[in-house]
């Protein structure tokens, strides 16, 4: 047990306990060379015993930044994280619960954070006010709804992605094409569905409202909605699934219905997560450059931290279709 000691230990108190001068303790703490081995060992022991932590630190040369996820439960998250860490920022992983904290912003400042990256999440007006006051820059990745004009954000070209996915199916000869969107409130989901509509209209195919349904972006949502769609009197021959995870749910529903992908049903995802390559058959999907989006958001945040002005408050990175084996012309 450490000897009785009021308050946290200081260099002075350790020096007194060790019977050496304060500068000597400072040298041990900082790993300077000019200390006798025995002295160093003795002082170090006292430091450990008292659990010494310096009360002042050198200013962080590294740019410590929080990245806030709604939940750390999707393979999504790693992709974005990877991008962010490649932008030269030091990234602290944080989850939603933290922002709901009354003094989230104050906690950021106290923790030495230089900014924050918020992923697929809403910033309340209160958050924005506090952030403004603290001068902490924030960038939002893939915002759920349209962020205020003055909140910098990074997204993907969702509309173009929905268009490309659907045109691919049209070109293969499909006419009965369904779409399973994400939650209706999500901006990105709406853009993808609008892209789907645009492709059908361009091809002169009427949009059948029965073939436009909403899931959750998760596996179960795709599974449930595909079951309903496949039970229709005139079922679709192709489904644009809105997300990769949802596409896997659609494929499972097809398998259970005794349908083969892509012979009986074509499936297109959205995201191009690493595992899109790993399904059987490998998934045709719209590549959303998640790592690049993370990197871009990191770079924007970095600029803001350094006091540079952003070229644009809103950046949308290009999506593109990756054709694999889950799509084929319809039977007959």
Partner DNA sequence: CTGAAAGCGCTTACAG
Question: Whose Cβ is closer to its own copies: residue 230's or residue 251's?
Answer: 251
Q: Which of 12, 21, 32, 72 is close enough to bind its own copies by CB under 8 A? A: 72
Burial string for 271-300 (b: 16+ CB within 10 Å, else e) reads bbbeebeebebebbbbbbbbbbbbbbbbbb
Q: Determine if 31 is a binding residue for DNA (CB under 7 A).
A: no
Distance between CA atoms of 262 and 313, rounded to whole angstroms?
41
**What does residue 206 show for φ and ψ, rounded to 5 degrees?**
-70, 140
Q: Which does 35 bind (CB under 5 to 8 A by kind): DNA, its own copies, none?
A: DNA
Q: Determine if 329 is a binding residue for its own copies (CB under 8 A).
A: no
DSSP state of 264: T
Binding residues for its own copies restricted to 135-194, rule: CB under 8 A = 135
Q: Is residue 291 classed as helix, strand or coil in its secondary structure?
A: helix
Q: Determine if 6 is a binding residue for DNA (CB under 7 A).
A: no
Number of residues that bind its own copies (CB under 8 A): 59
Distance between CA atoms of 49 and 82, rounded to whole angstroms?
39
Structure tokens at 284: 């045709």
Q: Which does 37 bind (CB under 5 to 8 A by kind): DNA, its own copies, none?
A: DNA
Distance between CA atoms of 138 and 158, rounded to whole angstroms?
22
Distance between CA atoms of 12 and 170, rounded to whole angstroms?
77
DSSP state of 182: S
Q: Which of 6, 33, 206, 309 is close enough to bind DNA by CB under 7 A? A: 33
Structure tokens at 199: 């492709």
Window contacting DNA (CB under 7 A); options: 16-24, 113-121, 181-189, 244-252: 16-24
Binding site for DNA (CB under 7 A): 10-12, 20-24, 26-27, 29-30, 33-37, 39, 54-56
Binding site for its own copies (CB under 8 A): 8, 31, 44, 47-49, 51, 53-62, 64, 72-75, 77-78, 81-82, 85, 90-95, 106, 110-112, 133-135, 219, 245, 248-249, 251-252, 254-255, 261, 274-275, 277-282, 306-307
């Amino acid at each position: 047990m450490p000897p009785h000691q009021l308050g946290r230990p200081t260099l002075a108190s350790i020096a007194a306990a060790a019977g050496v001068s304060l500068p000597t303790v400072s040298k041990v703490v900082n790993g300077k060379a000019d200390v006798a081995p025995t002295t160093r060992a003795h002082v170090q022991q006292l430091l450990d015993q008292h659990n010494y932590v310096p009360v002042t630190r050198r200013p962080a040369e590294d740019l410590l930044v929080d990245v806030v996820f709604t939940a750390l439960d999707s393979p999504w998250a790693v992709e974005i994280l990877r991008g962010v860490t490649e932008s030269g920022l030091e990234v602290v992983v944080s989850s939603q619960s933290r922002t709901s904290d009354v003094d989230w912003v104050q906690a950021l400042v106290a923790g030495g954070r230089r900014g924050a990256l918020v992923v697929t999440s809403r910033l309340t007006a209160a958050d924005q006010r506090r952030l403004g006051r603290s001068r902490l820059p924030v960038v939002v990745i893939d915002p759920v709804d349209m962020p205020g004009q003055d909140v910098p954000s990074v997204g993907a070209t969702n509309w173009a992605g929905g268009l490309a996915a659907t045109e691919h199916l049209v070109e293969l000869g499909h006419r009965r094409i369904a779409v399973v969107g994400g939650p209706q409130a999500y901006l990105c989901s709406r853009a993808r569905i609008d892209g789907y509509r645009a492709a059908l209209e361009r091809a002169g195919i009427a949009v059948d409202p029965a073939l436009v349904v909403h899931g959750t972006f998760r596996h179960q949502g795709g599974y449930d909605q595909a079951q309903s769609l496949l039970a229709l009197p005139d079922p679709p021959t192709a489904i644009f699934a809105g997300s990769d995870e949802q596409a896997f749910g659609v494929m499972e529903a097809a398998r259970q219905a005794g349908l083969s992908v892509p012979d009986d049903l074509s499936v297109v995802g959205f995201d191009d997560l690493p595992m899109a390559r790993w399904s059987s058959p490998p998934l045709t999907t719209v590549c959303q450059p998640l790592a690049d989006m993370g990197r871009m958001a990191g770079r924007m945040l970095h600029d803001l931290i350094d006091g540079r002005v952003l070229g644009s408050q809103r950046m949308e990175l290009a999506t593109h279709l990756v054709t694999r084996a889950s799509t084929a012309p319809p039977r007959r």
